[in-house]
Amino acid sequence: MDDVDRALIAQLQRDATQAYAVLGKAVGLSAAAAHDRVRKLRERGVIRHTTVDVDPAALGRGVLAFVMVDSSAWMGEASASFAAIPEIQEAHVIAGAAAVLVKVRTATTEQLQDVLRRLYAIEGVSGTQATIVLDTFFERPVSTD
């Protein structure tokens, strides 16, 4: 994991459709060498997978909210219960109270309310505090700096 690897990752985060010849030239490597480096980064799990970034609004998910989910019990094993709600994009166990922070995307605020209802149905959930996002400044890949 040296500076060349980091430069390759930064390039791929920007555009993973680049040909290895172009990618190599950008970091000062031949196509085959760039290919070999990227292959190893994938093998080692540094690069998990290649995906597409989709406009949430185009998929009918224009409303973004963060919801703090309070619970009366340890939620460390409740991952599947949250994953079963497709509107939930992320779920994190947080420090402090026994709580989970989730990132939710819905089409409307009515649907957000419905997600809250489904959250309450999860065993142990005792409360929710939703925070609606008015504007997203940016969402970007993990920095390689």
Which residues are at the interface with a second copy (CB under 8 A)?
Answer: 1, 6, 9, 12-17, 44-56, 58-59, 61, 64, 66, 76, 78-79, 82-83, 86-87, 89-96, 100-101, 105, 131-145
> Which sign does the torsion angle of CA 30, 35, 38, 39 carry?
negative
> Can you name the residues that pair with 66 across neighbouring β-strands?
103, 131
Minimum distance from CB of 32 to DNA (Å)? 3
Which residue in 8, 29, 78, 119 binds DNA (CB under 7 A)?
Answer: 29
Cα gap 52→55, rounded to integer Å:
10
Amino acid at site 50: T
Cα gap 91→68, rounded to integer Å:
10
Between 34 and 75, CB nearer to DNA: 34
Q: Does 44 bind DNA (CB under 7 A)?
A: no
From the list DNA, a second copy, none, which binds 142 (C-beta under 5 to 8 Å, kind-based)?
A: a second copy
Cα gap 17→77, rounded to integer Å:
37
Q: Does 68 bind DNA (CB under 7 A)?
A: no
Cα gap 16→124, rounded to integer Å:
42
User: What is the contact surface with DNA in residues (CB under 7 A)?
Assistant: 4, 18-21, 24, 29-33, 35-37, 39
